[in-house]
Amino acid sequence: MRTPNQLKKSLASHHLLHVMAAHSPLSARLAEEAGFDGLWASGFELSALYGLADVSLISMTQHLDMVRAMAEHSSLPIVADIDTGFGNAINVIYAIQQYERAGAAAVVIEDKTFPKVTSLVADGRQELLRTEEFQGKIRAAIATRRDPDLLVIARTEALIAGLGEEEALKRAAAYEAAGADMILIHSKQKTPDEVESFVRAWTGKAPIVIVPTAYPEMNEARIKALGKIAIVIYGNHAIRASVTAMKDVFARIQKDRGIQNVNRDIVSVEEVFRLQKMDQIKADEKRFLA
């Protein structure tokens, strides 16, 4: 079984880690070939893959199966997005056991109530747990993990819920005190100002994780200038890229009433064969089939 050591060793190098969202073994393999440092096993992306809203409709079993499949097809460390932990602290205990066995290098647990509502939707219901209750979830996760290298990342949605920086900092400090290895701060503001202000004000020792989906101008230079951010997650770009490409290709085929034009602009069947490792299948057939 793979261990979480790879991610923890990468963090110890003090280089900013770039983690790409994935929702399938194929997207995981493409992210690895592109050179990313890790995979974000995104609940949002998997929900979208099933055509569902990201409101706790996808079960732990469905998400866990995808994490296992990605772990089998990519050597990158996996940061598992386990939302609220699928319930209370008792559910978190079971989730940690299962995700650790599946090969996750880290889990991210957020301080919303269950069922959650996706963070970036306009006028969404954003309800947070009491700080003490979420601390219990963090303590449960820390007590349950068998490998101390499995990172438990506490995600506070205080800024998403409109509670302000002071509440976000207070919660982050409480979560670090409960044992969280890292703090993920999330924001839906269109500029990085809110997150930058939080990071500058953060006095804890736990490194910061950000997901700059809503504020894309938060580039590497700007992140490094803050000095406290260890991981940047590109939280939904795999599924958005997939939707963009499919909509474009489908529309062109309809317009042209055939594939004669679009065929030259998409990857060949042979490239898909490569990603499927068909050469290995052929070699095994030659070796083993009578």
120-143 residue pLDDT tens: 888 888 899 999 999 999 999 999
Burial class (CB in 10 A: 0-12, 13-18, 19+), 190: exposed
Residue 3's pLDDT is 56
Domain boundaries, the chain: 5-236, 243-288
Q: 5-236 — its CATH code?
A: 3.20.20.60
- Sorted by sequence, the CB contacts under 8 Å of residue 67 that are 6+ apart come out as 41, 78, 80, 99, 102, 103, 104
Write down the residue that tokens 């940061």 correspond to. Answer: 79
In order of 92, 228, 247, 269, the CA distances from 261 in angstroms are: 51, 49, 15, 16
Residue 107's pLDDT is 98
Mean pLDDT value of segment 223-237:
97
Residue 213's pLDDT is 97
The answer to whether 54 is a known catalytic residue is yes
Residue 1's pLDDT is 45
Determine which one of 37, 54, 83, 181 is catalytic: 54
Tokens describing residue 22: 């994935």
pLDDT tens readout for residues 66-89: 999 999 999 999 999 999 999 999
Mean pLDDT value of segment 200-206:
98
pLDDT-derived band of residue 8, with 50, 70 and 90 as boundaries? Answer: confident
Mean pLDDT value of segment 53-63:
96
Bigger pLDDT: 126 or 215?
215
Residue 2's pLDDT is 54
Query: Model's pTM, two decimal places?
Result: 0.94
What length does the chain have? 290
